[in-house]
Amino acid sequence: MNLVALETFGDALGNIPSGTDVITSTYQFTFNSGMFVNSGLSGGQFTGWLTSLNSGPAISFSQPTGTLSPGVNTVALTNMPSGVASDVIAYLGRGGGGGFDVTLPPGLADYVLSHGIDPTRLSFDKEHSFVEINNPSGGGYDHATDFRNGQIAYDYVAEYLIPSVPGRIYGLGRQKITENMTPVPTDRFIFDYSYFHGVPLPYGKMPVNRFTPGLEKTFFNKQVSVEMRFPFAATIDNTLHTNNENRLNVARIGDATAILKFLVFKRERLAMTLGLGMSLPLAEDTRLFDSTTGREVIRSKNQSVHLMPYVGLLYAPNDRVFIQSYFQVDADANGSSIYVADLAGEGTLFAGRAKERTFAYTSLSMGYWMFRNYCQHGTLKNGMNLMGELHWTQSIDRSAGVRHQQDNYLFDIGREQRNYTVVNMTLGSRFLINEKTNIGIGYSVPLRNKTRQFDGELRVAVNRYF
């Protein structure tokens, strides 16, 4: 019996969570309580105050105490007497509750939208927020005079989401060895198509179309092969803007992948291969621009080279059933340079190098020949099989990101701390036509909702042997 099995489908993870980057800026919002209480705060006054505060230095204040001694007391919002807390809550138009929290005050939404900030990415920082109250006599707290003559200062943290490495997200994700792969070195032209439905991009879900042409060529009596893959996709643009007005369905080139395959042994029913894949950074850099000023805020250079050692097994217990399994590691060898805006001048500053986390991939594929016929010389000529696959992706370390501080702006880039486990299932069928053409159609679905990279993926794989 000849050891015959057609290529696996794989699950083509196109959007592995490799450290979505965040630029974090702390805004200090201060409100004079006397004006607020007596006359109300108009939208013009509100915006004027915010503009003046954000153009100046960050507000500094003494260590909060929480006591009411004579003079002006600085009290942390996390440690206020009950009377002060109730006044502050009423002051901001919020209802009472067990804890103290602040959502967007009136007028703030208009401001942040005009400055390209997504309000859903704003969070209240009560650890660095405070109320100053005038308590000339000391002792008890007087609602009528003490709070009215003080002020509230509190922080909001605004986050902008940007991708970490442009060649490996939005449908141009890390290459997996299991994508249209067989353990046996083969001479073939390759073309893969993936339609990702519901890809969770930072600005909402969208479809992504990915195309991957390639070539595999054998050497040394078919004991060794070299394969090249060149993915491109219709997806979101590399140039992003803080107001989320980004171009969609843009043709983008991804990073090329070279794969070296060594056939360790091949028996009647069993074959084993070892190999090494390597990504080549051909994709464009990712750039984030401030939508208000038009200035470049962050540039992520696409420089990472990924090394991907793997082992593959093929086992055919009988003439109809075949089983394939792969184990692969994907490690960022050198990282990518990160540049951020020089807030004190023009141009950008080098902030450091960010390295993506390492992933391990395990795949198991089982196929069953529904029908086959052979040529006179004994090779398979036509056939059709059914295939089912499970694909497990596991992060095995944490990404090495970049933290860069300028004034009250914190750039926190590429530091992904969570562990990721992604499990997908692929079902499909492959058709062998006249020995030379192999066409496969499959569909992948995620089995874990928490870390899903798409809602569904249609896969079409074509191989032309020579």
Secondary structure (DSSP) of 71-87: EEEEEETTS--HHHHHH
Same structural domain, 140 and 247: no
* Domain stops at, among 127, 160, 193: 160
Terminal alpha carbon distance of the chain: 22
Same structural domain, 151 and 231: no
Please report, rounded to a whole number, the percentage of residues in the chain having pLDDT higher than 70. 67
Same structural domain, 186 and 288: yes
Same structural domain, 235 and 89: no
> In CATH, what number is assigned to the domain containing residue 438?
2.40.160.40
Whether 282 is in a domain gets the answer: yes
Six-digit token string for 71: 């003079």
- Nearest-CA neighbor of 321 among 252, 279, 269, 256? 269
Same structural domain, 271 and 335: yes
Same structural domain, 427 and 451: yes
* Domain stops at, among 131, 160, 189: 160
The helix (H) or strand (E) run that includes residue 199 is strand 188-201
List, for residues 196-251, the tens digit of each pLDDT value: 888 877 567 788 899 999 999 999 999 999 999 999 988 888 888 777 777 888 88
Whether 12 is in a domain gets the answer: no
Q: Which domain holds residue 147?
A: 24-160
- Of 154 and 58, the structure prediction assigns the larger pLDDT to 154
Same structural domain, 173 and 230: yes
- Of 146 and 423, the structure prediction assigns the larger pLDDT to 423
What's 57's DSSP letter? P
* Domain stops at, among 160, 180, 202: 160
List, for residues 374-418, the tens digit of each pLDDT value: 887 777 889 999 999 999 989 888 777 788 877 656 777 776 667
Average pLDDT, the chain: 76
- Arithmetic mean of pLDDT, 331-343: 88
The widest CA-to-CA distance across the chain, in whole angstroms, is 107
pLDDT at 2 over 70: no
Same structural domain, 348 and 450: yes
Same structural domain, 146 and 171: no
For 119, the 3-state DSSP assignment is helix
List, for residues 301-330, the tens digit of each pLDDT value: 889 899 999 999 999 999 899 999 999 999
Contact, 181 vs 146, CB < 8 A?
no
pLDDT at 90: 66
The helix (H) or strand (E) run that includes residue 88 is helix 82-91
Measured distance CA(103)–CA(242) in Å, rounded:
21
Whether 397 is in a domain gets the answer: yes
Whether 408 is in a domain gets the answer: no
Whether 9 is in a domain gets the answer: no
List, for residues 106-162, the tens digit of each pLDDT value: 455 555 555 555 666 666 666 666 777 777 777 777 776 776 656 666 666 666 555
In the chain, how many domains are there?
Answer: 2
Measured distance CA(25)–CA(118) in Å, rounded:
12
Same structural domain, 345 and 220: yes
pLDDT at 441 over 90: yes
- Arithmetic mean of pLDDT, 164-188: 74
Contact, 244 vs 203, CB < 8 A?
yes
List, for residues 268-298, the tens digit of each pLDDT value: 899 999 999 999 988 888 888 877 778 888 8
**Pairing of β 402-406 and β 122-135:** unpaired
Contacts of range 100-105, beta carbons closer than 8 Å, 24 or more positions apart: 100/126, 101/126, 102/77, 102/126, 102/129, 102/154, 105/29
Give, in order, the Cα–Cα distances in Å from 399 to each of 331, 332, 419, 420.
Answer: 10, 9, 10, 12
Whether 189 is in a domain gets the answer: yes
Give, in order, the Cα–Cα distances in Å from 333 to each of 307, 353, 404.
Answer: 7, 12, 22
For 45, the 3-state DSSP assignment is helix
List, for residues 20-57, the tens digit of each pLDDT value: 445 555 554 544 333 233 223 333 333 333 333 333 33
Same structural domain, 395 and 256: yes
Same structural domain, 123 and 230: no
Whether 247 is in a domain gets the answer: yes
Whether 312 is in a domain gets the answer: yes
Contact, 181 vs 216, CB < 8 A?
no
